[in-house]
Structures are given as structure tokens and as C-alpha cells.
Amino acid sequence: MNNIKDMIARRVALELKDGDVVNLGIGLPTLVANYVPKGINVFFQSENGLINLGPKPEAGEEDPDLTNAGGQPVTILPGGAFFDSALSFSIIRGHHVDLTVLGSLQVDEKGNIANWIIPNKMVPGMGGAMDLLVGAKKVIVAMSHTNKGKPKILKKCSLPLTAKGEVDMIFTEMGVMEITPYGIRLIEINPQYTISEIQEKTEAELIIAKDLKKMELIHEI
Amino acid sequence: MKLININAFKSFFQDGMSIMVGGFMVVGTSEPLIDALVETKVKDLTIICNDAGYPNKGVGKLIENNQVKKLIASHIGLNPTAGKMMANGRLEVELIPQGTLVERIRAGGAGLGGFLTPTGIGTIVEEGKQKMRVDDKEYLLEKPLKADVALIRGSKVDQYGNVIYHATTRNFNPMMAMACNHTFVWPEQIVDTLDPNYIMTPHIFVDYIVKEND
């Protein structure tokens, strides 16, 4: 499973553009920071109040006052800044974040996303996800294609939504998809799978891009 | 003089109070003030905090000790106790998007009647709220949030009550200090004076600086 997560993170990292302000969700999305392509400089924002988020500190170098939004010890890179939560969410809602990468439970063909609650079962709360979804210029969902074999990419989300129509792209171990006004278009395919295998694991009907590409997996970090 | 000790701090609390607690995953939460509140055994509290902390850290201690009637937070995912108590009806939880929560607190302290946000449109967050259209975009009207007491953690606090927060401990603290009738700060370090250029919460928002008992 870790291999799948890393693979998805490696592919998502190719979407990073020089100078982007990026907010990564907890879990798989956090791994994207490990694969920033060579020559690309991005600024990671963390909603608990910092920009220029750096890597995990060396053992013994942790500062209990300096963590990411998951409460894990982190570092701050040169040029970085700390701020309060009101400013942090002004950055987020105010369209100053170029790209956010989030995990999800469900996504549908209208770009709706459900990832904060399974009623009567799991109620962790939305945290900053609703604000990130409406505020980020580009929203990428990075997740496993299915949950225990059941599709997560649906015609219509059945769980309560986190945001309506905000998802731009979906990255899974099977391929890369974009949300269009006509539905979900498969634009890259992992050659380990066939189109019909991917469609079988996807409830929404996929539009296959005319210039369907092989999913790019390896690059220089 | 704003300086009081823990005993004086404890004598302030009553059942049923609403209390804002600064911090994000307990970073920036004043554990000594939480511990003192646990010792008071006051109950039926409404706690407003970014999250539920952990079972034995931050506001999680108050939840564990059955002192909280209602928690207003953006997530409770790292505190399974809070999740269980919510499921069996022992804890009322109101979940609010994080950006909306902090802005509601800011509005409370800033004298605003609320604000319009696109966050939550098309989700269950919009239930029962007024929607407004401005220049062809839809927003939710979110109202200000205030409380009786704010518990703040300052990294450096001067004798006047001016506060500087270190690294990511700032989070909700400055807004909460403005939005409550009585603001208590726990100083990690007390200094004579601070450079006015770098003060993050001016002293007028701080009512008491709490220190250890003598």
C-alpha cells in the first residue's frame, strides 16, 4: 500500500509549478513534499500558521512549538513566516493558495467531494478542508482508486459533501483524471491496467482522452 | 496589576461557563491553565477550541473529566474519547469549518455582526443559515462568536500583558483574546518589556497574567 501511495505522490508532484503556494492534506498528500522535481521551488503553506514549511527535523532537533497541521514536528525554511489562523485562512479562502492536494472518501463526476464524515460511523470533522476546497485555485484529489474494491469515483457522492464542484483533477494508482463539464476524462493510464479494468472500478462513466498518455511515474528529484 | 496566581485563577470559574481555548492540536494550548480548570471540577462547560486535543492533552483532559457539555471545534479526529462521547450522547459537538470558526471568533472580538463566506455552500454546513448573493456569487452569513473566558498561551508576556507567540503557537490565541469578557494568559516567559514593533496581542486584550502559586 505504501508503494501505491508513494507512486501517486510521485505523479502528483509533477503538477507542481515553480513559485506555487501549496497546501497538502494529511496522509498521502503529505508525501508529495518528498518528490518536488528538481529545479522547481514551491512554498508549502500549513493552515496552522506558516509558509515555507520545511522537512521533518533531525531527531533531537524538534521544537514542540513548531508543527504542521497534523501536529507533527516540522521545520521552517529561509524566507518563511508564521501567522495566526485568521490570516492563514485569509490566505486559503482569498485564493492565495495555487494548489491543494487532498485525500478523499468519494469524488463524483460533477467535481463534488465527500471526505469529512461517515454519518454515525466516523465523524472526525472537516478541519480546514472546506475552506481549502473553495479557496485554492486548483484542487487535486490524491487517493486509492477504490476502497476495499468498491469504487470511490462515483456518478454522485452518497456521503455528505465537503464542497460542491470544486475538484479539478483526480490521481489514483490507476491513472490521472480531470473533471470536465461533460464528466470525468481519463487523461493518463497506469500501463499495469487496461481501460476496461479502470472503468470496472469506477462508477462514473469515464471519457477516454483522445491522446491518452501513459502515467508518468519516475522523474529526477 | 494583572498578575494573579493559579488559586485566584481557579476561584474565577463557575458551572456552565463558555470558554475559548487557544491552540491547534494542543500546540499553543496552555496546559497549566487546563490542569487548573480540571482541578476546579466545574462542569457543563461550553468549550470553543480548534480541535478536541488528545485524550490526555489540551481540552481533551476536560472532556475526559466530564466537564464539557458542548464542544465547538473544527475537528475531533485525534481524540477517540470525544468521538465516543459524541456518539453516545454524552458530549454535544458542533463542527465548524476551521476558517469559519476562527473568523467567527475574530468577528466576535472585532465588533462585526458576522461575515459572508463561500465555505460550506452546497454542504450540510449551510443548513439553517441565511444565504446571500453578492455580485453573482453565493455566500453564507456566519455570525460572530464570543465567550465568557479565553485561555491563552503566550511565549513571551511583559508586565503589561503584551504577548508574543512563538512559531505555530499563535493560531487561534490572538482572536480568542479579543472575543471574550475575561482573558487569561499563561506566560511561558515573563519579561519586563517587549519591543512594541513585535507585539502580537496588545495588553488591552489581556485581563490577567496567571503564574504558579507561591
Mean pLDDT of chain B: 97
Cβ <8 Å between A126 and B95: yes
- Domain borders along chain B are 3-211
State the pLDDT at residue A221.
58
CB of A50 within 8 Å of any CB in chain B?
Answer: yes
Chain B residues in contact with A50 by the CB 8 A cut-off are 167-168
**Mutate which of B115, B119, B142, B178 to test chain A, going by most A C-beta atoms within 10 A?**
B119
**Domains of chain A by range and CATH?**
2-214 (3.40.1080.10)
Q: What is the ipTM of this complex?
A: 0.97
Chain A residues in contact with B150 by the CB 8 A cut-off are none
State the pLDDT at residue A220.
53
Q: Is domain B3-211 annotated with CATH 3.40.1080.10?
A: yes
CB of A121 within 8 Å of any CB in chain B?
Answer: no
Mean pLDDT of chain A: 95
- Decide if pLDDT at A1 tops 60: no
Cβ <8 Å between B97 and A126: yes
Give which of A75, A32, A18, A47 is closest to A136, Cα–Cα: A47
**Nearest-angstrom CA–CA distance, B134 and B184:** 39
Instruction: Kindly state the average pLDDT of the residues A62-75.
Output: 95
**Nearest-angstrom CA–CA distance, A106 and B144:** 32
**Cα–Cα–Cα angle for A221, A142, A184, rounded to 5 degrees:** 120
Q: Catalytic site residue A197?
A: no
Band of residue B28 on the pLDDT scale cut at 50, 70, 90: very high
State the pLDDT at residue A219.
54
**Nearest-angstrom CA–CA distance, B203 and B185:** 10
The answer to whether residues A85 and A49 touch, using CB atoms and an 8 Å cutoff, is yes
Give which of A77, A136, A99 is closest to A17, Cα–Cα: A99
- Decide if pLDDT at B15 tops 70: yes
Chain A residues in contact with B78 by the CB 8 A cut-off are 71
State the pLDDT at residue A218.
55
Instruction: Kindly state the average pLDDT of the residues B33-50.
Output: 98
* pTM exceeds cut of 0.95: yes
**Mutate which of B168, B169, B198 to test chain A, going by most A C-beta atoms within 10 A?**
B168
More confident call, A45 vs B214: A45
Instruction: Kindly state the average pLDDT of the residues A16-29.
Output: 96
Measure CB to CB from residue A163 to each of B99, B122, B175 and give the nearest one.
B122
Chain B residues in contact with A160 by the CB 8 A cut-off are 123-124
In tens, the pLDDT along B156-212 reads 999 999 999 999 999 999 999 999 999 999 999 999 999 999 999 999 999 999 999
State the pLDDT at residue B163.
98
Cβ <8 Å between B171 and A67: no
Phi/psi at B169 (5° precision)? -80, -5
Distances (CA, A) of A194 to A175, A177, B73, B172: 10, 15, 44, 49
Cβ <8 Å between B120 and A130: yes
